[in-house]
A and B are shown apart, each in its own frame.
Chain A
Amino acid sequence: MASQRVGEAGFSNSGPSHHHHHNTMPYAVFRGLNPPSTSFINQEGSAFDFGELEEAIVLQGVKINNDEAKTPLYAATVRPAATLEMFPSWPTRLIQTPRGSSKSGEESTDSGSAVNTLSSRAEARLEPESPISKKSSLEPQGLEQKHLQLPNQQQQLEMANDGSRVEMPQDHQPAGGKPTTEKRRGPGSTSEKVLDAKTLRRLAQNREAARKSRLRKKAYVQQLETSRIRLTQLEQDLQRARAQGFFLGGGGAPGGNISSGAAIFDMEYARWLDDDHRHMSELRTALQAHLSDGDLRVIVDGYIAHYDEIFRLKGVAAKSDVFHLITGMWTTPAERCFLWMGGFRPSELIKMLITQLDPLTEQQVVGIYGLQHSSQQAEEALSQGLEQLQQSLIETIAGGTVNDGMHHMAVALGKLTNLEGFVRQADNLRQQTLHHLLRILTVRQVARCFLVIGEYYGRLRALSSLWASRPRETMIGDENSCQTTTDLQMVQSSQNQFANF
């Protein structure tokens, strides 16, 4: 494990020989920072002793002494894919988790070469120096912190890199003179000040890899920035659209794949919902004003026509885009969950209404239960018909040889046209059921009925919005515990919401 991390994880070097080799971070040894991707994430609480780092910096002129010890390391680490293990340069600073402290960390790098200034710092502050490790350290932190952190880190990194680049030539000079002679000796050379060709190559590769990872990091960070900007823009659009009364569940994504028939229907449905609000408030005031039955009848008839209108609109939409209706993309998620054949299930609606409409005469109760029963039978029949259609479609699509492919597709297309018929019959059932129910009830009861239905669906839509906007934690360690608490919070807040209804 240690061998995987060049430069940071511990190799068991001889204690006092700290190399300033840009890959080396001997301090990791005694901290046991072996897990590669997280070793630079110093939130784990590993505090580096800065004193030792100073020593290392001071000794930066010293070349690698034990190549033998290094060899297995390098062999393991010079892997282009293992980017996490490549480090660009001498680690400038190690700054610990408190992000606010990164600023002071920055100060010390300001003066001249990063390397030299470090020695002046007495605090134990650790900062991940590899770009990749910074990347991985970014993720758990959350976007906000990243953005606070990045400029600092980038600056520091750059300075560190500059520092290392400054140093490198120094390293090579002494080694440059003796490449040929050293080659012969191979890794067995024990001279402290000589770098043989192999090592040089390794150094070069490491530098290359480090540079690449720096570039990668830059690209990634830029991507993050642009995504963040786009996200805030989208959120603003969202809020604006919401304020204008559009129901997002119904509209589909702006610019997403939505047919023109579906888009038109969504618009008309949104308008219908606005009208619905208007009708409802009209009805409420009418009931409170205790109008005569005749006057109430007029308003109620208007509401009935309003419902007939949506059935008509759905009929038109079924011709142009039946999938849009039957998949419920025009509704909110909670409604969609309980959708039956592109709309509400009449028997369910009746069940809901029975509880809300007392007092009812015995005759009415019998009538309503009978209606519920008939509706259930009709629903069952339609569902079975649709199932038969699905079976037939499956057989058509699954069967057939390769040669017959187009023919089978044509047959399948023909079968799909039946979907429109089913949605139309389902809407027809809904409309008939509603009309018959209204015939059973008195005018006043009908008025209350419409209010109940309107409020019910209003709450269902509100539930969808609440669900969509419930607070969720970003992914950090104990994700599960966070979620349970937020779920509780959400339930509480939603309960408070409904108290107002």
Chain B
Amino acid sequence: MHYHQEAAAESWGYYAAAPPAAGVRHGISMGGADPLERVVRLASGSAVVIFSMSTCCMCHAVKRLFCGMGVNPTVYELDQDPRGKEIERALIRLLGNSPPVPVVFIGGKLVGAMDRVMASHINGTLVPLLKEAGALWL
């Protein structure tokens, strides 16, 4: 699991997934961008991205689900991020859930909140998605 916080110079090099765009090098702290855009950008930055809050227990559950499957998700703790509030609002706009977290992106594509994640796991669609995104190797 990789936790991202406001860091001046984060190295994105070790992500095997989609090569980061130039503008992303500065991480979340880059200002002025539309929050939703930022969300999308962050989501594309890793194979599995989870927007979470450190105090949220359901987020803990979703993290454990992925770790239990052997996946290494990238986690953004919104309560530990100065711009976390904006992202929260963006997520609410996107999904309409309350609470807004956890939200999972796989391979840059939105999967959804906990119920969607579990439904897709039961469906058997989650694993192929993970494999496709390169987060899971057989």
Contacts and interface: CB of A to CB of B under 8 A. Distances in A.
The interface centre, meaning the residue of B60, B65, B118 with most chain A CB atoms within 10 A of its CB, is: B118
B122 A432 contact: yes
Given A382-B61, A385-B61, A377 B115 contact: no
Given A425-B115, A428-B115, A374 B61 contact: no
Nearest to B119: A432
Q: What is the interface of chain B mostly: helix, strand, loop, or mixed?
A: helix
Contact of A418 (B57, B115, B121): B57
B62 interface: yes
Given A377-B68, A380-B68, A429 B122 contact: yes
A82 B122 CA distance: 70
Interface in B96-135: 114-115, 118-119, 121-124
Given A386-B57, A388-B60, A377 B123 contact: no
Contacts of B115: 424-425, 428
B2 interface: no
A432 B117 CA distance: 11
Contacts, number: 68
Contacts of B58: 385, 418, 421-422, 425
Interface residues of B, number: 19
Contacts of B55: 392
A156 interface: no
Contacts of A405: none
A431 to B, nearest CB: 9
Contact of B124 (A374, A385, A389, A421): A374
A245 interface: no
B64 interface: yes
Given A382-B61, A385-B61, 6 more contacts: A370-B124, A371-B122, A384-B64, A422-B58, A425-B118, A429-B122
17 contacts: A377-B121, A378-B65, A381-B62, A381-B68, A382-B61, A385-B64, A386-B57, A418-B56, A418-B58, A422-B61, A425-B115, A428-B118, A429-B122, A432-B118, A432-B122, A436-B123, A436-B124
